[in-house]
């Protein structure tokens, strides 16, 4: 190992207590996820050459058309977990119900196997998001066992399949980024102790939904667009990749605020993003890096989940900006 290069396995050995079996098992599980991520990275990097682009005739539980890579990525992760004895149960965006593992294990794993998959056919970065919870002891997990508040996650993270493949994760002791060295197949620690700047001049939102936003969101974005000509002391920039993993990764790297708020576009949906395997893990990683994850009205990690595929509004990133959006929601709600 080259001097000064810390592998993922070395980092986990430093962060976890080898004397505790739960820590040893968590380290093994994260290394299993890293292996699965490498396999998905190979598929996404081959794109059309691997015959993995395009849609399937099927739809997922969200009623969304499934991409070939959605299903392939899902199968890789499910196979990874079911072949081991670390994960007692699995919940995935691509599967209606949780899947129990007959081998049992101390953890539950919830994941979006390929987030941003509508970008895959146009060669834009996509990712995998995962959340790790404690499994019930001495019995097979039931649906209610998965519905733990995000603050109870043991670990969470994501892989981003971009110009480089990175794994960004937290076990509750800061957020750390690893870059895949394709030549060695090792994830190398390249971004230790990531810290999100508390202030930012960059917002990320799908502005085409503007007419559907609630007043506090419309107020915040309007002020950002007016920049220093209005109440804000500076001009703002906008980014929207439409791949949550890529947008959130940028925010972890240089600050920013990501917003997919509740809107009136589809009143049956209180937001687009899913709590259990998108908002919760991303909020965990962001808050471990000094940021904040909110619905606009309350902290995401404190939400009591009601269903596996539940959707929530998401406002996360640079703490001072997220707190400003929360303040605008309080002011609005106090007079309406
Ligand atoms: P897909 O997985 O269908 O591409 O959706 C991606 C996503 O869930 C999230 O990654 C993006 O931030 C968001 O949807 C983009 O939504 P819009 O397409 O409405 O902008």
CATH number of the domain at 3-191, out of 3.30.540.10, 3.40.50.1100, 2.60.40.1730, 3.30.2320.50?
3.30.540.10
Q: What is the pLDDT, as a whole number, of residue 47?
A: 79
For 28: left if phi > 0, alpha if psi spans -120 to 50, otherwise beta; the answer is alpha
237 is in an annotated binding site: no
Q: Does ligand 1 come within 6 angstroms of the Cβ of 250?
A: no
CA of 66 to the centre of ligand 1 (A): 13
CA of 273 to the centre of ligand 1 (A): 8
CA distance 311 to 262: 9
Q: What is the pLDDT, as a whole number, of residue 108?
A: 98
Examine domains 3-191 and 202-334 and report if their fold is the same.
Answer: no
Residue located nearest, by CA, to atom 2 of ligand 1: 116
278 is in an annotated binding site: yes
Q: What is the pLDDT, as a whole number, of residue 46?
A: 87
**φ, ψ at 187 (rounded to 5°):** -85, 120
Residue located nearest, by CA, to atom 1 of ligand 1: 116
116 is in an annotated binding site: yes
pTM: 0.95
Element spanning 281, H or E:
helix 280-288
Q: Does ligand 1 come within 6 angstroms of the Cβ of 243?
A: yes
Q: What is the pLDDT, as a whole number, of residue 112?
A: 97
Residue located nearest, by CA, to atom 6 of ligand 1: 116
Q: What is the pLDDT, as a whole number, of residue 308?
A: 97
CA distance 60 to 16: 36
206 is in an annotated binding site: yes
How far, CA to CA in Å, does 60 sit from each of 71, 97, 333? 9, 11, 35
301 is in an annotated binding site: no
93 is in an annotated binding site: yes
CB–CB of 301/280 below 8 Å?
yes
Taking only the tens of pLDDT, the chain with its 336 residues reads: 566 799 999 999 999 988 888 899 999 999 999 999 999 999 999 877 776 666 777 777 667 767 688 899 999 999 999 999 999 999 999 999 999 999 999 999 999 999 998 898 899 999 999 999 999 998 999 999 999 999 999 999 999 999 999 999 999 999 999 999 999 999 999 999 999 999 999 999 999 999 999 999 999 999 999 999 999 989 999 999 999 999 999 999 999 999 999 989 888 888 999 999 999 999 999 999 999 999 999 999 999 999 999 999 999 999 999 999 999 999 999 999
What interhelical angle do 68-82 and 21-46 show, nearest 10? 150
Spans of all domains in the chain:
3-191, 202-334
**φ, ψ at 162 (rounded to 5°):** -125, -150
Q: Could you say which architecture CATH assigns to the domain 202-334?
A: 3-Layer(aba) Sandwich (3.40)
Q: Does ligand 1 come within 6 angstroms of the Cβ of 316?
A: no
Q: Which residues of 251-286 are buried (b: 16+ CB within 10 A; e: fewer)?
A: bbeebbbbbbbbbeeeeeeebbbbbbbbbbbbbbbb
Element spanning 325, H or E:
helix 319-334
CB–CB of 77/92 below 8 Å?
yes
Element spanning 203, H or E:
strand 202-204
Q: Does ligand 1 come within 6 angstroms of the Cβ of 160?
A: no
Residue located nearest, by CA, to atom 16 of ligand 1: 242
Return the best residue to mutate from 61, 92, 116 for the ligand 1 pocket (most ligand atoms within 8 A of CB). Answer: 116
């Amino acid at each position: 190992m080259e001097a000064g290069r810390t592998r993922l396995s070395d980092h986990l050995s430093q962060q976890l207590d080898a004397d505790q079996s739960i820590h040893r098992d968590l380290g093994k599980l994260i290394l299993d996820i890293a292996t699965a991520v490498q396999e998905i990275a190979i598929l996404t990097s081959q794109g059309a050459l691997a015959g993995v682009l395009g849609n399937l005739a099927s739809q997922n539980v969200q009623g969304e058309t499934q991409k070939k890579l959605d299903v392939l990525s899902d199968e890789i992760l499910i196979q990874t977990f079911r072949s081991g004895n670390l994960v007692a149960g699995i919940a995935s965006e691509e599967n209606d119900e949780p899947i129990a593992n007959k081998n049992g294990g101390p953890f539950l794993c919830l994941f979006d196997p390929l987030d941003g998959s509508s970008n895959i056919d146009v060669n834009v970065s996509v990712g995998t998001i995962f959340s790790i919870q404690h499994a019930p002891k001495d019995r097979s997990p039931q649906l209610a066992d998965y519905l733990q508040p995000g603050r109870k996650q043991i670990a969470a993270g994501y892989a981003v399949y971009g110009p480089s493949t990175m794994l960004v994760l937290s076990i509750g002791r800061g957020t750390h980024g690893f870059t895949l060295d394709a030549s060695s197949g090792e994830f190398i620690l390249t971004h230790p102790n990531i810290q999100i700047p508390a202030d930012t001049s960059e917002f990320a939102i799908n502005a085409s939904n503007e007419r559907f936003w609630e007043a506090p969101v419309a107020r915040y974005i309007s002020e950002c667009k007016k920049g220093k000509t209005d109440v804000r002391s500076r001009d703002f920039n906008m980014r929207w990749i439409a791949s949550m993993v890529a947008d959130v990764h940028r925010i972890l790297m240089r600050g920013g605020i990501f917003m997919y708020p509740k809107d009136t576009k589809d009143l049956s949906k209180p937001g687009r993003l899913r709590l259990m395997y998108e908002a919760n893990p991303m909020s965990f990683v962001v808050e471990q890096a000094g940021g904040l994850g909110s619905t606009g009205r309350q902290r995401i990690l404190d939400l009591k989940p009601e269903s596996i595929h539940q959707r929530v509004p998401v406002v996360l990133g640079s703490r001072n900006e997220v707190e400003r959006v929360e303040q605008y929601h309080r002011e609005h709600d106090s007079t309406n």
